[in-house]
């Protein structure tokens, strides 16, 4: 599995070619050209070629190039995969599969991709990310998380999920009443635990209210605190906020390096724990510190 940065995943409708150049230059870790819900049904088939051409022809720098296909219970899914992979070839890094309900939904895409890669003689395997945004998908998230070796991340989709659950929310998917705590805590926790147990990333939901950067930052920080790797951005202005919130801070990195050094020193003298700035440092602290230093390296920090 390729380990790649995923602090920000920017959504861009595949029908809207005029947005592509800005998305490619947005600095997002991943951009996905959307063939699903951001595109009018009549435009979906015609948007496939636009997406493939943009993936192939634009300069995406270090941004991972993705497409969100239509759900496998629609008539578009197989055409989306075949047309985009055939057109984009190695310029496509990731396919995002929405509304996944069971492991077999992921297998279906995996098998189709394997046949296509073979037929086209591709040198690179397309990776997968799935959206958990149906109550049935959340119930089956553990088996979904392990359904394919291509799977690199699970995304929590609060928009469709709230509809699937019948929750009463506003257009930002927040509860319409003063609900104590986070209405989506259970779903978020379930997704991140399933993803981590399978050794893959968890990505937090879209945040439609792009005119409220402070609230978006808080949402990013809360998701990061839970162990999420990144969050969707539905507007280029959200990218920088997510990139900052999901990266370790210079203080965290410096502290992590001190913890590693202190622990190694203790280990060399036959001890399993030591003290640092008046605090205990043991093997659990080393794991946290390793998480931070590995993430920092991934982002070149
Ligand atoms: C994303 O697709 C969502 O429904 O939140
Ligand atoms: Mg959705």
Query: Ligand 1 pocket, 160 CB below 6 A?
Result: yes
Q: What is the mean pLDDT of the chain?
A: 96
Atom of ligand 1 nearest to the CA of 155: 1
Query: Ligand 1 pocket, 169 CB below 6 A?
Result: no
* 252 vs 282: CA distance, rounded Å: 17
Closest residue by Cα to residue 64 from 26, 98, 95, 94: 94
Quickly list DSSP for 254-294. Answer: HHHHHHHHHHHHHHHTT-S-EEETTEEE-HHHHHHHHHHHH
| Range scoring the smallest mean pLDDT among 93-107, 112-126, 193-207, 267-281 | 267-281
Query: Ligand 1 pocket, 204 CB below 6 A?
Result: no
Q: Which residue shows structure tokens 């590995």?
A: 294
For residues 148-166, average pLDDT: 98
- Summarize pLDDT for 10-63 with one digit per residue, the tens: 999 999 999 999 999 999 999 999 999 999 999 999 999 999 999 999 999 999
Share of the chain above pLDDT 90, in %: 95
Query: Ligand 1 pocket, 159 CB below 6 A?
Result: yes
Neighbours of ion ligand 2 (CB under 5 A): 133, 157, 159-160
- Summarize pLDDT for 112-149 with one digit per residue, the tens: 999 999 999 999 999 999 999 999 999 999 999 999 99
Atom of ligand 1 nearest to the CA of 157: 5
- Could you give all domains of the chain from N- to C-terminal order, each with its CATH number? 8-245 (3.20.20.60), 250-298 (no CATH)
pLDDT exceeds cutoff 80 at 84: yes
pLDDT at 207: 97
pLDDT at 241: 98
| Side-chain-side CA neighbours of residue 295 (13 Å) | 26
For residues 94-119, average pLDDT: 98
Closest listed ligand to the CA of 158: 1
The size of the chain, in residues, is 301
pLDDT at 109: 98
If pLDDT is split at 50, 70 and 90, which confidence band does 301 have?
Answer: confident
Testing ligand 1's pocket by substitution, the residue of 137, 154, 159 carrying the most ligand atoms inside 8 A of its CB is: 159
Query: Ligand 1 pocket, 187 CB below 6 A?
Result: no
252, burial (CB in 10 Å: exposed 0-12, middle 13-18, buried 19+) = middle
């Amino acid at each position: 599995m390729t380990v790649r940065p995923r602090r920000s995943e920017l959504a861009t409708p595949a029908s809207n070619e005029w947005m592509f150049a800005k998305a490619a230059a947005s600095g997002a870790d991943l951009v996905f050209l959307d063939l699903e819900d951001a595109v009018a049904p009549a435009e979906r088939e015609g948007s496939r070629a636009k997406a493939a051409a943009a993936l192939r022809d634009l300069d995406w720098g270090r941004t991972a190039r993705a497409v969100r296909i239509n759900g496998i219970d629609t008539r578009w899914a197989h055409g989306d995969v075949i047309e985009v992979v055939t057109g984009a070839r190695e310029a496509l890094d990731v396919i995002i599969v929405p509304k996944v309900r069971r492991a077999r939904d992921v297998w279906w895409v995996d098998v189709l991709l394997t046949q296509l890669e073979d037929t086209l003689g591709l040198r690179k395997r397309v990776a997968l990310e799935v959206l958990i945004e149906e109550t049935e998908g959340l119930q089956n998230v553990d088996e979904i998380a392990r359904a394919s070796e291509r799977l690199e991340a699970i995304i929590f989709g609060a928009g469709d999920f709230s509809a699937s659950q019948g929750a009463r929310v506003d257009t930002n998917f927040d509860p319409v009443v003063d609900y104590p705590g986070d209405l989506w805590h259970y779903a978020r926790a379930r997704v991140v635990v399933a993803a981590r147990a399978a050794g893959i990333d968890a990505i937090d939901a879209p945040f439609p209210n792009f005119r409220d950067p402070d609230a978006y930052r808080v949402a990013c920080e809360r998701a990061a605190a839970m162990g999420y790797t990144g969050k969707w951005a539905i507007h280029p202005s959200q990218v920088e906020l997510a990139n900052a919130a999901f990266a370790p801070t210079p203080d965290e990195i410096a502290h992590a390096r001190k913890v590693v050094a202190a622990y190694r020193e203790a280990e060399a003298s036959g001890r399993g724990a030591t003290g640092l700035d008046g605090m205990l440092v043991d093997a659990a602290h080393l794991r946290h510190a390793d998480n931070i230093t590995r993430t920092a390296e991934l982002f070149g920090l």
